[in-house]
Amino acid sequence: MLKSSIGSKACTAKSGRHFSLVTAQSRAIGSISRRIVRKYEVNPSFAAEKRGLFIPVYSSFLVFLFLLCLFFFAGCVTSSGSNTDEQTAMIETKEFGKTADGVPVQLFVLKNSSGMTVKIMSLGAIITEVHAPDRSGKLGNVVLGFDNLDAYLKGHPCFGAVAGRVANRIAKGKFTLDGIDYTLAVNNGLNHLHGGIKGYDKKVWDSAALPDGGVKMSLISPDGEEGYPGTLRVSVTYRLTEKNEIRLDYEASTDKATPINLTNHSYFNLAGQGDVLGHVLRLNADQYTVVGEGLIPTGEIASVKGTPLDFTTPHTIGERLLKTGLTPPGYDHNFVVNGSGASLRLAAVMVEPQSGRTLEVESTEPGIQLYTANFFDGKIIGTGGVQYPKHGGFCLETQHYPDSINHPNFPSVVLRPGTSWQSSTVFRFGVSK
């Protein structure tokens, strides 16, 4: 079991170490200077001979001593005053179990100073639990999942996992890149979904706790896996901040041109149980990608105005859910996030009125998929014995648009050798008054 203490306590300790270092070095330098002075006092002839050189050298030495102390003091102040909103106060690592072929699966427990707790395992880089405070300060688990590895190994609807190599759908599992036709594994009717039959959600990632309080998950996806070209090296780093934020930072590189579109597929329920129809959602999205059969985009980007997809002002999930036209009813739509550029921007705000819990989602991605667990039937029993009914959770999957590889008018998902793919998402938990 590994525990790493960081955050404000670590900054204080670091600050103390800096002051001790400054004091020790100042004393040492002072001792040296006194010995030099005594040498001049004991040996007058030596002093007389070297007096012309001694005065400027000694003056320079004093200036150097002053600047050295100032430098260490400035570093101490910077270290003690920065990173006040940075990562978790503690990380605990333990074995969660082993896969059928004997591969160990690690579980990382991140906890900040206010008590918020996030659990992440190396299988699928899955967020298994998130315990966030309600209006009264009571902590409760707000994501769907299981508290044992066996339940995950038996199969699940992508609870909390990183989906890839390409999240969401690719029409008929086919695309053409640089004049070469590729055929992918098909696992969603006639289409390819979330990376295929054995996507990243089913892989055991290399994992490690970082000195700065993060947890880094990494894997190598070989050329040809699920039909994709190129060996892809990918990582995702999770951090829990003192602002009750879960931050995900993705990176990837390849040795051959390939599509990439990673997302985290966590199902949230801010009440902790029941359905999410009473949750209130606002999306920073004036447009959505229109879909046809099999939820494959037609290529059209349309306005949400006047449709059940208009969450530019707050609405409950259940208010217009039966009018989306999907079978079974619900939401499973990609929204075009307002704004552009590589910086984080607000994509969604969800509020659960009874508990007061809120969730804000920021991302560098151009799209966000709202999914409302339309196929749940109450048969899944999750963490703590909680039953998951129809619409028992919601997903807010930050992403590039579905089937982007087949739509030149969509933002590109192509990664090429010599370049790096990067993406960031922040889930910020709070309470409403």
Selecting among 18, 192, 397, 400, the annotated active-site residue is 397
| Of 315, 318, 367, the residue nearest 338 (C-alpha) | 367
Polymer length in residues for the chain: 433
Is 279 a known active-site residue?
no
Rounded Cα–Cα distance for residues 400 and 188 (Å): 19
Burial class (CB in 10 A: 0-12, 13-18, 19+), 393: buried
365 a catalytic residue:
no
The set of residues, in sequence order, having a beta carbon less than 8 Å from that of 96 and lying 6+ positions away, is 105, 106, 107, 121, 122, 123, 149
Set 18, 131, 192, 265: catalytic member: 265
Residue 411 tokens read as 């933002």
Q: Which residues are catalytic?
A: 265, 397
